[in-house]
Amino acid sequence: MAACADRGIAVALSTWFREDTTNARARISGPEVLAELWARTLDTIAADGLLGHVLYVDLCNEYPLPLWTPFLYPGEDAEVRSRTEGEVHSWMEESLAALRARHPELIYCFSFCNEFESYQEQDVSCLDLLELHLWMVQPECSDFYERLGYGLGADRFDPVHYTRLAAGGERLYASDPDHWRQRLAVHIHRAADWSRHANKPLVTIESWAVVNYKDWPGLDWGWVNELCEYGVDTAVDTGRWLAVSTSNFCGPQFVGMWRDLRWHQRLTSRIHGGETSLSAEADPFLRHLAKG
């Protein structure tokens, strides 16, 4: 964070509650515990004088998937619960209230990657923003992964699925690129509709094409970049996004995506040049950005 602060870069914080040797995540017994974990973390950041460089805090990644929220389930293979359930919603509402009491100056959310079709049934009033992770390959968007035989079940990290994506992903996309772009556009515009319905700004930090592409030798990234660029353009044009990622693969370890530096520069300029339909007077996140 100090390195980012030196460069004038704000940092969004999130937690992926994965299993460790002590299984510390098993001790998250209620929303008040979740809030306390975050409060202590933010206290240390404040002690280092870096709290002003926090863009926002995502209390739990992709809530409420079992992989990231095991405290809501008997096991990771359990059926995904809905944010319309009272208990699932209460975890958000109560943990946010407790954390805001400790650090009221920050912007808070839980990030989501599912239940887009039922957005009108979900109460997100406790959130300061909607952080939605959006890809063309999501089941609510298209049947791309289904056609490839890429599984999203308990064996989703089996290398065989990566092999199928590497072997057939580009060919399937190239068979009808307009279709896949159209499916992504519908997905993005639905997210924008949710933003308007909830009167919340949008942030997307994981996007827009595929999820688990590998940086194997010889793999073509052109089709991934093409679809990601289409996603950025479509999202920016809605005027509902206040922060937009270019792809899921912007880490320096993805050599294939970084072969084309001009692509990154062009998309970053496109994002910075986008206009918003949101009002700084009405939206706390936009006011927070303006202060920064």
pLDDT of 287 over the 80 cut: no
Q: By three-state DSSP, how is residue 109 classified? A: strand
Burial 40-64 (b: 16+ CB within 10 A, else e): eebeebeeeebbebbbbbbbbbbbb
Q: At 204, is the pLDDT very low, low, confident or very high (cuts 50, 70, 90)?
A: very high
pLDDT digits (tens, 9 = 90+) for 46-91: 999 999 999 999 999 999 999 899 999 987 778 999 999 999 999 9
pLDDT of 285: 79
Q: What is the dihedral sign for C-alpha 182, 231, 267, 258?
A: negative
Spatial separation of the C-alpha atoms in residues 106 and 155, rounded to whole Å:
37
User: Does position 108 have pLDDT exceeding 90, yes or no?
Assistant: yes
Question: Which of these, 191, 275, 202, 286, lies nearest to 237 by C-alpha position?
Answer: 275
Q: Residue 59 corresponds to which amino acid?
A: L
Domain boundaries 133-292, corresponding CATH code: 3.20.20.80
pLDDT at 292: 62
Structure tokens at 215: 């940086």
Would you kindly state where each structural domain of the chain is located, as residue ranges? 1-128, 133-292
* Residue 36: other Cβ atoms inside 10 A: 16
Give the amino acid at 14.
Answer: S
Q: What's the pLDDT tens digit per position in 125-164? A: 999 999 999 999 999 999 999 999 987 766 667 888 888 9
The pLDDT assigned to 290 comes to 63
In this structure, are strands 11-14 and 202-204 parallel, antiparallel, or unpaired? unpaired
Residue 184 is predicted with a pLDDT of 99
pLDDT at residue 288 tops 90: no
26-30, 88-92, 234-238, 280-284: segment of lowest average pLDDT: 280-284
Exposure string over 208-245, b if 16+ CB within 10 A, otherwise e: bbbbebeeeeeeebebbbbbbbbbbbbbbbbebbbbbb
Q: pLDDT band for 291, please (50, 70, 90 cuts).
A: low
Mean pLDDT of the chain: 93
Percent of the chain past pLDDT 70, that is, above it, reads 96
State mean pLDDT over 230-253. 94
Q: Per the structure block, which two tokens stand in for 115?
A: 């239940």
**Interior angle at CA 37, CA 287 and CA 248, nearest 5:** 60
When pLDDT is averaged across residues 271-286 and rounded to a whole number, the result is 82
